[in-house]
Structure 1
Amino acid sequence: MTTVEPTATAVADLVRNTLSTHKSLFLATSGSDGSWVGGVYFAESDPFTLNLVLERRGRTLAAIQENPVVSLVVSTGSPMQPFLQAQALAEIVAGEQDTRVREQLVAKVPEAAPFLDAPVAAVRLSVRGWRATDIANGWLPGRDLPAPRVAN
């Protein structure tokens, strides 16, 4: 079987499509209480910036406060469906940024609105780069899509 190497555009398209068609992701953290994985709703500002809210007194937020480097998976749960993996830097945001995160989240995931009435913190994830896997199309191992470099 011959496999055609996907273009950077094809990988970027798969990342954008996967993010737009999923409302939730699995977020892995690590802190003094150990490693932890939880499912959360999210909304993307762009393919490398994801927004979510976390319970203020929860284990996930406590771990992020200790260690802001997180890992995530965007997937249906089936390895035969395209899925994304990444590491990201988590930042707890406040003020206008908090408001914007909440607005974006509810715009994409209306059923997340009740969570905003609970004691939650807005969090922004800056994704370092994506690993996109699409086994049905021969992308095993997955293909990488690095985040664009930001000029200083």
Structure 2
Amino acid sequence: MTTLEPAAVADLVRNTLAAHKSLFLATAGSTGPWVGGVYFAESGEFTLNLVLEDRGRTLAAIRENPVVSVVVSTGSPMQPFLQAQALAEILGRDEDARARELLVTKVPEAAPFLAAPVTAVRLSIRKWRATDIANGVLPGAELPSPRLP
């Protein structure tokens, strides 16, 4: 299998994020684990912005436990995919507006969701695990965030 230099792993992460509009978000609160699909917009390799339904199970779980996991994937293991653990932060008014702007710029079809009762959330990725089986990147290559230990 292929060993990638850090710059190549960063390129794989950036390209995979740019190629996707949605991700799978896993949470764990008092009602148990939960996985849902959400639209997202990245602001750098290690920061993802999204909105969640105010009364939904996902946001409730984040309020209880802000440690989440994400998978950015088509669902096929033969397409490049990303996995990570992240820290979720519910955003205040000013940051909420910026996250919504980033989201609708990347994913125009998400605009109707913004009219619903939703809250913006920022995910700070601790490190990415990028896998690209078709190009020999198995096991996945890791790209740690420079901001988090």
TM class, shorter-chain normalised? Answer: over 0.9
Name the aligned partner's letter for residue 146 of structure 2: P
Partner of 2:125: 127
Count of residues in correspondence between the two structures: 148
Aligned counterparts of 1:80 and 1:32: Cα–Cα separation in 2: 35
Name the aligned partner's letter for residue 23 of structure 1: K
Aligned counterparts of 1:149 and 1:81: Cα–Cα separation in 2: 28
TM-score by length of 1: 0.95
CA deviation map 1:82-132 (0-9, x unaligned): 000000000000111000000000000000000000000000000000000
Name the aligned partner's letter for residue 89 of structure 2: E
Aligned counterparts of 2:2 and 2:137: Cα–Cα separation in 1: 9
Partner of 2:38: 40
Partner of 1:108: 106
Aligned structure 1 segments of 4 or more residues deviating by more than 2 angstroms: none
Structure having greater relative contact order (Cα 8 Å, sep ≥ 6):
2
**Equivalent residue in structure 1 for 2:10, among 9, 12, 16:** 12
Shift of 1:4: 4.0
Shift of 1:70: 0.1
CA RMSD, 1 decimal: 0.9
CA deviation map 1:22-71 (0-9, x unaligned): 00000000000000000000000111000000000000000000000000
Name the aligned partner's letter for residue 31 of structure 1: G
Closer, same or farther: CA 149–117 of 1 in aligned 2, 3 Å? closer
Name the aligned partner's letter for residue 48 of structure 1: F
Shift of 1:149: 3.3
Identity among equivalent pairs (%): 76
Q: Where in structure 1 are there 5+ consecutive unaligned residues?
A: none
Is 1:117 aligned to residue 115 of structure 2? yes
TM-score by length of 2: 0.97
Q: Where in structure 2 are there 5+ consecutive unaligned residues?
A: none
Say if 2:2 and 2:138, in contact at 8 Å, map to a contact too: no
Aligned counterparts of 1:31 and 1:113: Cα–Cα separation in 2: 28
Bigger Rg, structure 1 or 2: 1
